[in-house]
Amino acid sequence: MPDLLDAVDALTLVEHEHIAQKSDDGRWLKAHTVTHPSLLQRMADAVTPSTGRDNASKSSAATRSPVDADALFEYAKMSAAIKSWCLMVKVAPDRDPAVGLRKWYVARLAQPGEDDAWYTRQLTSWANIIRNHLNPPQSFTIKAPCPICRTEGYGNAIDGGDTWPIEVRYRMQDERVTDEIARCRVCGGTWHGHDAIEELADELSQISGKIEAAPNPVVEHQEGPNPPDRLNRLEGCDAV
Ligand SMILES: [Zn+2]
């Protein structure tokens, strides 16, 4: 669990991203560093594209998510909450929520409360909401029963669902897969991270060894591009 300052920093400090490049023949070239505006600033840019205070702090149109009502609403809630927190510690709110949040934190240091954990959870969830808006997760459904609860279907044709129970979500970052998580929507069984997903793929291919090979494609893509190589083993799983 991050502490309160970590959670404040995650939202308000610029982020440095190290990008290593490979040449065409596979050699690593020198890494370079890209600086991104803070998460709160990027959310502000995403919902109000003209708010960048100068060219350097604006994200380019290509990297900016399209304005959407959800993001706008979430950002408005964050800004409003920060303003009211500032008033509670008798600090004048700032037009810029990132500045306001840091002023609030400094004032709060002088009068620590017992509910730092609550604020930390709140701020951490905001960071997750913003990351999800800036780089939405990709997902697909594994066409195989859950190895824990053995459920084969989820939902029904009338109420929706009518699909296999395990959903895999992941995020692409510089052509790398990150944040992989597989979750059974029936029993809640969760496989978190690369190693756990590999184990799941192993388990499913063992099950499939006992069953006649299936003619159908196994993975149903719900959105986004094809999952990259690391997830292809699940695509090859033919436990159906
Ligand atoms: Zn299950």
Buried b (16+ CB within 10 A) or exposed e, 165-185: bbbbebbbeeeebeebbbbbb
Question: Which of 134, 149, 178 is a domain's end point?
Answer: 134
> Number of folded domains in the chain?
2
Centre of ligand 1 from the C-alpha of residue 141, in Å: 13
Q: Ligand 1 centroid vs 181 CA: distance in angstroms?
A: 14
User: What mean pLDDT is predicted for residues 197-221?
Assistant: 64
Q: Which residues pair with 182 in a beta bridge?
A: 168, 191
Lowest mean pLDDT among 2-16, 57-71, 146-160, 177-191: 57-71
Distance 140 CA to ligand 1 centre (A): 16
76 contacts 40 by C-beta, under 8 angstroms: no
Residues 210 and 126 in one domain: no
CA of 151 to the centre of ligand 1 (A): 6
Query: How confident is the model at residue 226, as a pLDDT?
Result: 52
Terminal-to-terminal C-alpha distance of the chain = 40
Which amino acid is residue 238, in one-letter code? D
**Last residue in a domain, options 104, 134, 164:** 134
Q: In this structure, are 148 and 166 located in the same domain?
A: yes
Please check whether residues 162 and 94 belong to one and the same domain: no
17, β-bridge pairs: 34
Q: What tokens appear for 10 in the block?
A: 């995650």
What pTM does this model have? 0.61
Report pLDDT for 60: 56
Ligand 1 centroid from CA 235, angstroms: 18
pLDDT at 221: 45
Q: In angstroms, what is the span from residue 201 Cα to ligand 1's centroid?
A: 14
**How many angstroms separate the alpha carbon of residue 231 from the centre of ligand 1?**
19
Tell me the C-alpha distance between 148 and 33, whole Å.
43
- Its domain, for residue 154, covers 138-235
How far away, in angstroms, is 212 Cα from ligand 1 center?
Answer: 22
What string of DSSP letters covers 167-235?
A: EEEEEEETTEEEEEEEEETTT--EEESHHHHHHHHHHHHHHHHTSPPPSS--EEE-SSS---HHHHHHH
The per-residue DSSP string of 37-94 comes to: --HHHHHHHHHSTT--SSGGGSPPTTTSPPP-HHHHHHHHHHHHHHHHHHHHTT----
Rounded to the nearest 10 degrees, the angle between the axes of helix 39-47 and helix 97-109 is 150
Residue 130, pLDDT score: 93
Whether residues 150 and 126 fall in one domain: no
Domain boundary among 78, 106, 134: 134
Q: Is residue 197 part of a domain?
A: yes
Clarify whether residues 124 and 183 are in a common domain.
no
Per-residue pLDDT band for 235 (boundaries 50, 70, 90) equals low
Is 148 a domain residue? yes
Between the CA of 133 and the centroid of ligand 1 the distance, in Å, is 28
Q: What is the CA(198)–ligand 1 centre distance, in A?
A: 17
pLDDT in tens, 70-129: 888 999 999 999 999 999 999 999 999 999 999 999 999 888 777 889 999 999 999 999
CA-based nearest residue to 22, from 178, 174, 237: 174
Give the largest CA-CA distance in the chain: 69
Determine, yes or no, domain membership for 172.
Answer: yes
Is the pLDDT assigned to residue 240 strictly greater than 50? no
My answer on whether 162 and 106 are in the same domain is: no
Q: Is residue 35 scored above 80 in pLDDT?
A: yes
Is there a domain that residue 240 lies in? Answer: no
From the CB of residue 14, how many other CB atoms can be counted at a distance below 10 Å? 12
* 102 and 189 together in one domain: no
pLDDT of 57 higher than 60:
no
Calculate how far, in angstroms, residue 225's C-alpha sits from the geometric centre of ligand 1: 26
Q: Tell me the CA–centroid distance for residue 152 and ligand 1, in Å.
A: 9
- 127 and 15 in one domain? yes
Phi-psi region of 160 (alpha: psi -120 to 50; beta: other; left: phi over 0): left
**Domain co-membership, 9 together with 126:** yes
- pLDDT grade for 218, boundaries at 50, 70 and 90: very low
Does 127 share its domain with 57? yes
Q: Are residues 110 and 48 in the same domain?
A: yes
3 state DSSP class of 5: helix
On whether both 130 and 57 belong to a single domain, the answer is yes
- Report the sign of the C-alpha dihedral through residues 184, 185, 189, 192, in that order: positive
Percent of the chain whose pLDDT exceeds 90:
37
